[in-house]
Amino acid sequence: MTVTNQTDLPTRGKYLEFGGQLKTLFPQAQDWVNLNHGSYGTMPLVIREKFRAYQDLAEATPDKFIRYDQGKLIDESREAVAKLVNAPTDTVVFVTNATEAVNTVFRNMKWNEDGKDVILFFSTIYPACAKIADFMVDYFGSHRVGIHEIPLHYPLEDEDIIQLFRDAVAALEKQGKRARICTFDVVSSNPGLVFPWEALCKACKELDVLSMVDGAQGIGMVELDLAAADPDFFTSNCHKWLHVPRGCAILYCPLRNQDMIATPLSTSHGYVPRTAVRRDVLPPNTKPPFVNRFELVATKDRSQDIVTKDAIAWRRDVCGGEARIMAYLWDLNKRGSRHVAARLRTEVLENTKGTLTNCAMANIALPIWLPGGKGKGAGEHEEDMVVPEHEAVQVRLWMMQTMKDEYHTLMPLFWMDDRLWVRTSAQIYLDMKDYEYAAKVLEELAARVANGEYKI
C-alpha cells in the first residue's frame, strides 16, 4: 500500500513511528535511498506546502507582505529557533547558510595594525571556511593577518584536541604572534564526527581568542545550549537537520559582540552609517540594530526562514520533539554504521569514550588502501586491496558515480591517512534495512574496484 498521508502511518503513542515507512512523507524519489542527509537535508511534504504558502502570500500583496508582515513572521521563527538553542531571541538572525555566516563575521573583523593577528582552524575545517581565511590574507596581506592550521589525525580523544589548540596558541605567542580568532565545528563534515566545541569555547575564552563556531552540522542533530557554551559567534544550518527548505541558517552573536557585526554581506537598509544620516524607507521599529541589519537584505525570498517555526512545531507535535528525534538518530547511526563495518570487515571511526558518533553521522573504513598505508601485512585482511596513488581520485569518483547511477544512493567517500572512508547519515525516514542496503552497495563496489572496473 502506498502511504500518502501521515495519519495512515504507524505511531508510537501519539507520535509517528520512525523508519523507512516515513519516506512517503518526504519529496524524495521513492527509489532513492538517501543515506547522505547530512549534505543537503530535506523537508517533509507538509512543510513544503507551508513554505509555498508563504511564497504565495508574498506574491498576493508584495508591498504589504515585504514591508509590513515579513519581519513579524521572521521574528516568530527567530524566537522559535532561539528557544531551541537556548539563546536570547535578539542574538539570533537568519542568513542563507553557515558559509555566509562565517563570511559575515570575518569580513566585519578589524585586524590589528601591528600584523600579529593569526586565524586558527583545524585541518578538518570545511574547505569553504578555510578559503574565507585565505581571502582575509589575500585581501589584507600576510603582513597584516596570518593563518595557522592545526593538524588532526583521528581517532583522537576530546582532550587531545583541546591540548593541540592550547599548544598552537602557545607556539604563536612564542613567535610574537596573537591568536585572534579560531574557527571550529560542532560536527565536522569530513570526517563526519562530533567536535568538542563546548570545551573549545571555554579554552578560547581562557586564552583570549575569539570563537567562531561552525555548527553547519548541528541544530536538529545534537543538543545545543548557547547560553552554557557562550561562543563569541555561532552558526548552524537549519536546512540540514531541522527539516527546513535549503537556504536557511542562523547566525548567533551575543550582545557583547553585536557592535562588531556592522553589516551583513550585502549592506542594506538596516545598516547605520557612522559618517552620514540617511532617511529610512521602511516602517520604523524598536528592534536592536543587530536584528535590523539582517531583516531586509535586498529583495530575496525569506519563506525558508519563516517556515522554520512550522518545521520546529512539526518535529514537536508530530515527531515527539527534539530529544525523541535525536535519540532515534544517534541509535540508528551507531547500530547502522557498526553493521556496515562488520559486513566490510573494517571499522567505524571512534575514540575510546565513544563521543565521535554521538550524532547522526558516522565514518566507516573501506577495505581499500593506498601504498604506504597499513593495509596488507599490517593486521588488515588479506582480501583488502591497494590501489596506486595516482588512481586514488579516479577510484573515488568512479565509486560515487556508480553508486548514484546503478544503486540509486550516494554516500560521500574520502581518503584519510591512506585509506578510503565512507560517511553515512541517519534520519527518521531510515532504518536498519537501509544500512543493510548500504553495506551491500559498498561491498559490491569494493569488489568491483578489486576487479579493476574503475579503469574501464
Give per-residue pLDDT as tens, 136-166: 999 999 999 999 999 999 999 999 999 999 9
Quick check: 439 and 339 in contact, CB under 8 A? yes
- Name the pairing type of β-strands 210-215 and 233-237: parallel
pLDDT confidence bin for 3, thresholds 50/70/90: very low
Residue with cell string 552554557: 228
Residue 380 has pLDDT above 70, yes or no: no
Instruction: Quote the mean pLDDT of the chain.
Output: 94
Share of the chain above pLDDT 90, in %: 88
For residue 395, the Cα-to-chain-centroid distance in whole angstroms is 26
Task: Report the pLDDT value the prediction gives residue 145, as an integer from 0 to 100.
Answer: 98
249: number of Cβ within 10 Å: 28
Domain definitions of the chain by residue range: 65-311, 323-455
Task: Report the pLDDT value the prediction gives residue 7, as an integer from 0 to 100.
Answer: 62
Quick check: 73 and 289 in contact, CB under 8 A? no
Three-state DSSP at 329 gives helix
Q: Please report, for residues 93, 332, 375, 392, the alpha-carbon distance to residue 221 in angstroms, rounded to integers and kept in the order given.
A: 20, 12, 34, 32
For residue 410, the Cα-to-chain-centroid distance in whole angstroms is 18
Please tell me whether the peptide bond between 191 and the residue prior to it is cis, using omega within 30 degrees of 0: yes
Stronger pLDDT, 275 or 86, i.e. the higher one: 86
What's the whole-number mean pLDDT along residues 75-97? Answer: 98
Quick check: 236 and 224 in contact, CB under 8 A? yes
Those residues whose C-beta lies under 8 Å from the C-beta of residue 402, and which sit 6 or more positions away, are 445, 448
In whole angstroms, what is the distance from residue 368 CA to residue 362 CA?
18
Task: Report the pLDDT value the prediction gives residue 279, as an integer from 0 to 100.
Answer: 77
Largest CA distance in the chain: 74
Residue with cell string 597499513: 374
Q: Which three cell numbers stand for residue 299?
A: 529583495
The topology under which CATH files domain 323-455 is Aspartate Aminotransferase, domain 1 (3.90.1150)
Q: How wide is the angle at C-alpha 362 spanned by C-alphas 94 and 418, nearest 5°?
A: 115
Question: Picking from 63-77, 346-360, 367-381, which range would have the lowest pLDDT averaged per residue?
Answer: 367-381
Strand partners of residue 194? 187
pLDDT confidence bin for 446, thresholds 50/70/90: very high
pLDDT confidence bin for 1, thresholds 50/70/90: very low
pLDDT tens by residue, 170-185: 999 999 999 999 999 9
In angstroms and rounded to an integer, the radius of gyration of the C-alpha atoms of the chain is 23
Entry pTM: 0.94
Instruction: Write the DSSP assignment of 95-114 as a string of letters.
Output: ES-HHHHHHHHHHT----TT
Residue 340 has pLDDT above 60, yes or no: yes
pLDDT confidence bin for 377, thresholds 50/70/90: very low
Q: Which three cell numbers stand for residue 38?
A: 547530512
Task: Report the pLDDT value the prediction gives residue 379, as an integer from 0 to 100.
Answer: 37
What's the whole-number mean pLDDT along residues 182-194? Answer: 96
Q: How wide is the angle at C-alpha 165 spanned by C-alphas 164 and 167, nearest 5°?
A: 65
pLDDT confidence bin for 373, thresholds 50/70/90: low
pLDDT tens by residue, 14-27: 999 999 999 999 99
Residue 11 has pLDDT above 80, yes or no: no
Q: Please report, for residues 348, 445, 451, the alpha-carbon distance to residue 396 in angstroms, rounded to integers and kept in the order given.
A: 19, 11, 15
For the domain 65-311, what is the CATH code?
3.40.640.10
In whole angstroms, what is the distance from residue 212 CA to residue 230 CA?
11
Task: Report the pLDDT value the prediction gives residue 9, as an integer from 0 to 100.
Answer: 75
Question: Picking from 63-77, 222-236, 266-280, which range would have the lowest pLDDT averaged per residue?
Answer: 266-280
Q: Which three cell numbers stand for residue 274?
A: 557612522
**How would you write 41-66 as a 3-class SS string?**
CCCCHHHHHHHHHHHHHHHHCHHHHH
pLDDT tens by residue, 401-418: 999 999 999 999 999 989
Task: Report the pLDDT value the prediction gives residue 389, as an integer from 0 to 100.
Answer: 94
| Long-range interactions of 438-442: CB distance < 8 A, separation 24+ | 438/33, 438/35, 438/336, 438/340, 438/409, 438/411, 439/339, 439/340, 439/343, 439/344, 440/343, 441/403, 441/407, 441/409, 441/411, 442/340, 442/343, 442/344, 442/364, 442/366, 442/411
Instruction: Write the DSSP assignment of 280-319 as a string of letters.
Output: --S------HHHHHHHS-SS---HHHHTHHHHHHHHHHTT
